């Protein structure tokens, strides 16, 4: 029995490229990875939004109305629903003039128990140190 911890670090803004959404869909795929592994082996996924990547967390995104696409916000909520640890860099939010009131913090409407954690960069750094592998998007 073994656990491999993957850290998904999202630095790019939403809708400019596919990267943030691919980070989230790959992280969410940690829920079904067992089909390829031996019994008891686990892959965990933690997600951190840093730099311009924090813009992915803005709430009330209108991607469906504007582009007929599922929003990055809905992917974040799906991540919470499957119990991903999702961190958002406090300093980078502040740098962009944003507060916790501007971003999605939970997915209660989907029945998710976990909430997004807005944390100082040093906490994200600590998370990254704990990972086996880091994937930058």
Positions in the binding site for other proteins (CB under 8 A): 2, 4, 6, 12, 17-19, 22, 25-26, 29-33, 35-37, 41, 43, 45, 132-137
Which C-beta is closer to other proteins: that of 67 or that of 122? Answer: 67
- By C-beta, is 29 or 96 nearer to other proteins? 29
* Shortest reach from residue 97's CB to other proteins, in Å: 27
Helix axes 19-28, 72-81, angle to 10 degrees: 20
Comparing CB distances to other proteins, the nearer of 37 and 99 is: 37
**3-class secondary-structure state, position 118:** strand
52 by Cβ neighbours in 10 Å (0-12 / 13-18 / 19+) ranks as middle
Q: Is 30 exposed, middle or buried (0-12, 13-18, 19+ CB in 10 A)?
A: buried
Name the residue nearer to other proteins (CB basis): 25 or 99.
Answer: 25
In the complex, minimum distance from the CB of residue 11 to other proteins, in angstroms, rounded to a whole number: 9
- Give min distance, CB of 78 to other proteins, in A: 13
Residue 75 makes CB contacts below 8 A (sequence gap 6+) with: 21, 24, 25, 28
């Amino acid at each position: 029995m073994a656990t491999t911890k993957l850290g998904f670090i999202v630095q790019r803004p939403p809708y400019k490229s596919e990267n943030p959404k691919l980070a989230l869909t790959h992280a969410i795929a940690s829920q079904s990875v067992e089909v390829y592994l031996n019994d008891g082996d686990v892959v965990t996924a933690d997600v951190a939004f840093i730099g311009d990547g924090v813009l992915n967390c803005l709430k009330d995104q209108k991607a469906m109305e504007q582009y007929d696409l599922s929003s990055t916000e809905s992917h974040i909520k799906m991540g919470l629903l499957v119990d991903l640890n999702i961190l958002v860099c406090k300093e980078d939010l502040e740098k962009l003039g944003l507060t916790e009131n501007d971003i999605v913090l939970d997915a209660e409407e989907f029945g998710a128990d976990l909430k997004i954690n807005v944390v100082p960069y040093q906490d994200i750094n600590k998370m990254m140190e704990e990972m086996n592998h880091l994937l930058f998007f």
